[in-house]
Amino acid sequence: MSDFGLIINGERVVTANSFDVINPATEELVAKCPAADEDHVNQAVAAAKAAFEHWSQVSDDERKAACHKVADLLEQNAAELAGIVTEEQGKPLGGFAGMGSQFELGGAIAWCRTTAELQLPVKVAQDDDQMRVELHRKPLGVVGSITPWNWPLMIAIWHVMPAIRSGNTVVIKPSPYTPLSTLRFVELANQVLPPGVLNIVTGTDEIGPVLTGHPDVNKIVFTGSTATGKKIMQSASGNLKRLTLELGGNDAGIVLADANVEEIAPAIFGSSFINAGQTCAALKRLYVHDSLYDQVCDALLGIANSVTVGNGLEEGIDFGPVQNQPQLKKVVELAEDAKANGARFLCGGEQPEGAGYFYPITLVADIKDGSRLVDEEPFGPILPIIRYSDIEEVFALANDNPAGLGGSIWSSDVAKAAELANRMECGTVWINNHAAIQPNVPFGGVKQSGFGVEFAEEGLEEYTSIQAVFIPKG
């Protein structure tokens, strides 16, 4: 087990208390993690506030170079970081279609480099004989980041890099289930960042409100559940903090009658079960036209029967466990409710005996809206497949959900599918794909999936305010 400490003002801080980080595949101890208290949070915020005075004024080129140096460190330590992610989160090193912890490291590096190259140029609103009006983007101050357990390192990068690229300083609090890879990342980043620019506090949920309610924190960026997002909004209201909230999704995919099942089935399976279904933008409700329903079920079942579930540190494993026991309990509850209401389980549906929070890849047919498994986000390796016959009905069903993160349309007629895309009430629509996010494309939700966007220039702007400068002429 590695030795971990908080990083505050560039220094490692040892805490009096610690908590256990458990490997979800074995239920064995991975490491003791430092448990921060309110004083540690206050110290971290004070360090970030002091560092902001300098960091906000350094040149754009210097901040760009720092982001690239962080990416260099991630590349140099990729094997170590991927191993930590697998141990604490459970996803395999390689995984199905190469979407495991090594992929997470590759994504983190790519987002670092893309973010480093982003610019926020001065825009001119007016330039005539009387007046030139310039619009400048200015950093906000201290950013509080709260990250989830499903993609712990990559989402930390999504939060941290645009914040420091735009001149802010950061205090990050990772999930207590998966804090170790983020602790190591922050430790590495502090080799190239000035003290106080990036700080980390780890602990249980009690310290979250200290950060979100802190009067010296100017923005909160949060990825996680809608319920927690609502609490953060309340906590952040004291000083009207800026917020970016990427909350739960219950993404619908619609298979049209003209789809080529053989071509789309692998992509549907991969985008439904990426990270064992523990991805906000994964496909979680699959609506299939009646004429293709049995064919789609058979195709997905064939893939499901070919994959392996196990300890992600072992060779040849496609999917790991559910990350934690409470989430596993939720998946089991939704599956049992579907059984009690007559749904047909094509595969899976039974929790195996033995150590680890494992649940098999599960496909559920003959199920309808109104079932908990369809209406609620399972966030696990289980997919409901809903039959439909009327195109108007299926869009009504897909949209009749409080979540609005992503959606997809599957069809052999790409132009037709693209025309239908704007009928989906969600932040992103994919055609013949799902969950394929990119660092150069804004990503965010509508309805109760949150507000604000991440990635690209639009995401970088979320970490700034606009200052209009009126310059008279003559």
The string of pLDDT tens digits covering residues 389-436 is 999 999 999 999 999 999 999 999 999 999 999 999 999 999 999 999
47 in any annotated domain? yes
391 in any annotated domain? yes
Pair 266, 235 in one domain: no
Pair 299, 384 in one domain: yes
Nearest to 321 by CA among 177, 181, 156: 177
Kindly tell me the sign of the dihedral angle through the C-alpha atoms of 148, 154, 157, 162: negative
Pair 363, 451 in one domain: no
Pair 278, 328 in one domain: yes
* Residue 338 CA: distances (Å) to CA of 77, 121, 344, 362, 411: 44, 53, 8, 12, 28
87 in any annotated domain? yes
Does the global pTM surpass 0.95?
Answer: yes
CA Rg value for the chain: 23
436 in any annotated domain? no
Kindly tell me the sign of the dihedral angle through the C-alpha atoms of 30, 70, 108, 223: positive
Give the number of domains in the chain: 2
Q: What is the pLDDT of residue 3?
A: 83
**pLDDT by residue (tens digit) across 305-328?**
999 999 999 999 999 999 999 999
Pair 333, 194 in one domain: no
pLDDT of residue 292 exceeding 80, the answer is: yes
Pair 322, 187 in one domain: no
pLDDT level of residue 1 (50, 70, 90 thresholds): very low
Which residue range forms the structural domain that includes residue 42?
Answer: 6-247+447-472
Q: What is the mean pLDDT of the chain?
A: 97
Q: Which of 87, 88, 187, 246 is catalytic?
A: 246
Q: What is the pLDDT of residue 474?
A: 77
* Residue 6 CA: distances (Å) to CA of 141, 182, 225, 336: 21, 10, 25, 41
State mean pLDDT over 194-205.
Answer: 97
35 in any annotated domain? yes
Pair 422, 468 in one domain: no
Q: Which of 67, 280, 297, 426 is catalytic?
A: 280
Virtual torsion, Cα 273, 274, 278, 283, nearest 10 deg = -60
For position 427, which CATH number holds? Answer: 3.40.309.10
Q: What is the pLDDT of residue 2?
A: 58
158 in any annotated domain? yes
Pair 285, 193 in one domain: no
Q: Active-site residue 33, yes or no?
A: no
Pair 93, 230 in one domain: yes
pLDDT of residue 467 exceeding 50, the answer is: yes
For position 170, which CATH number holds? Answer: 3.40.605.10
CB 193 within 8 A of CB 66: yes
State mean pLDDT over 254-265.
Answer: 98
Q: Active-site residue 280, yes or no?
A: yes
438 in any annotated domain? no
pLDDT of residue 101 exceeding 60, the answer is: yes
pLDDT of residue 10 exceeding 50, the answer is: yes
Pair 426, 453 in one domain: no
Pair 234, 260 in one domain: no
Q: What percent of the chain has pLDDT over 70?
A: 100
pLDDT of residue 363 exceeding 80, the answer is: yes
83 in any annotated domain? yes
**pLDDT by residue (tens digit) across 163-183?**
999 999 999 999 999 999 999
Pair 220, 262 in one domain: no
Nearest to 329 by CA among 310, 351, 347, 313: 351
CB 221 within 8 A of CB 235: no
